[in-house]
A = this chain, B = another copy of it.
Amino acid sequence: MAVYTDVSDDALEEFLRLYNVGQLLWCKGIAEGVENTNYILATDKGQFILTLYEARVEENELPFFLGLMNHLAENGLETARPILQNDGLLFSRLCGKPAALIEFLDGMAIKAPSPQNLFQLGVASAQFHLKAESFKIKRKNGLSLKDWQPLLKSCGDDIDKVAPEVDGGLQKFLSVELDFLKKSWPKKLPNGVIHADLFPDNVFFMHGELSGIIDFYFACNEVYAYELAIVINAWCFEKNGELNLTKSRAFFRGYQSVRKLEQAELDAIPTLCRGAAIRFLLTRLYDWINVPEDALVIPKKPDEYIRNLRFHQKIGDYKEYGIE
């Protein structure tokens, strides 16, 4: 939960005058979003999310993030659309922070997605990739292969104690894996803009249908198949650490119903899954070690991704993910 910046009613009304959204009826801080402060507000013209970008999202990247949301919404993807200010801008400042007003999206994140939901997510991911092709701005992935070694280093020398159950120590386990990934990482796969954070928190459903994708603040140019590897890690594992093949099969079926994967992409899936696992493992490890004393959000232990990574290490062929 996170309301880092308290917006006064006066400041809010002044901000809303930059938009043609009618008169404010109410506004409530919501316990959503780890990186930003979010409010839900209503005017006589509708409901909106007000996002104030805190330290971790950089202002100079907002034209990419908000521009992408706008581009995808205009091209018919189910997503939250940023509202344009009267002068055409997508954001300005509120209480000293960059801030944007975003169309409210019906639906909610679900904790127990069905295979049908995974199929829908596959369809939406592929649509995301295709519709983003015509988007002009580019953004480098700030958490790609070459960033993982420095990220591990920044976690310090004392990480073994975070996961004492890892034989030989977590440090060794991760170093060996990073060496493997450096050697095996696929080159020259189809690529473009991906969401890069397609976790269950960021996908809304309503009446059993996918109603929208939110939180574009990790989106970047990357190989498409890496998005699929993230989804397998984030959606398709059971609590006991086993892969739910029905879900991953449904997801790939959905994706390929819109965009057929090339053979090289399919072959790369196991390695990309190891990469996606270590990427989230490392950021969780970093956050776990560096949790501030006044943290409003309790970080998650990286255990789940150690387990996922071990699973992927044993995979010999992409077909073991249920990909047909």
User: B-contacting residues of A (Cβ < 8 Å)?
Assistant: 1-3, 8-10, 23-32, 40, 42, 105-112, 204, 206-207, 296
Seed contacts A24-B108, A296-B296; 9 additional CB < 8 Å A-B pairs: A3-B31, A9-B108, A25-B107, A25-B108, A26-B108, A28-B30, A28-B31, A28-B108, A29-B30
CA distance A297 to B314 in the complex (A): 45
Residues of B within 8 A of A28 (CB): 30-32, 40, 108
Minimum Cβ distance to chain B for residue A241 (Å)? 21
How many copies of the shown chain assemble into the complex? Answer: 2
For the complex formed, measure the closest distance between the CB of A208 and the CB atoms of chain B, giving whole angstroms.
11
Partner of A27, one of B3, B9, B108: B108
Closest chain B CB from A42 CB (angstroms): 7
21 A-B interface contacts by CB (under 8 A): A1-B2, A8-B111, A8-B112, A9-B108, A9-B110, A9-B112, A10-B112, A23-B207, A25-B106, A25-B206, A26-B105, A26-B107, A27-B108, A28-B30, A28-B31, A28-B32, A28-B108, A29-B31, A30-B30, A31-B31, A42-B106
**With A and B bound together, what is the CA distance between A28 and B106 in angstroms?**
11
Report A268 CB to chain B, min CB distance, Å.
Answer: 34
A3 neighbours in B (Cβ, 8 Å) = 1, 31
Contacts of A31 in B (CB 8 A): 1, 3, 28-31
Q: Considering the complex, give the chain B residue whose CB is closest to the CB of A41.
A: B108
Across the interface, which residues of B come within 8 angstroms of A204, CB to CB? Answer: 26
Enumerate chain B residues within 8 angstroms of A8, measured Cβ to Cβ: 111-112
The CA of A232 and the CA of B103, in the complex, are separated in Å by 40
CB distance from A273 to the nearest CB of B (A): 27
Q: How far is the CB of A200 from chain B (nearest CB, A)?
A: 11
From residue A192, how far is it (CB to closest CB) to chain B in Å?
A: 30
Nearest CB to that of A8 among chain B residues?
B111
Provide the residues of chain B in CB contact with A296, threshold 8 Å: 1, 296
Residue of B nearest to A10 (CB): B112
Closest to A206 in B: B25
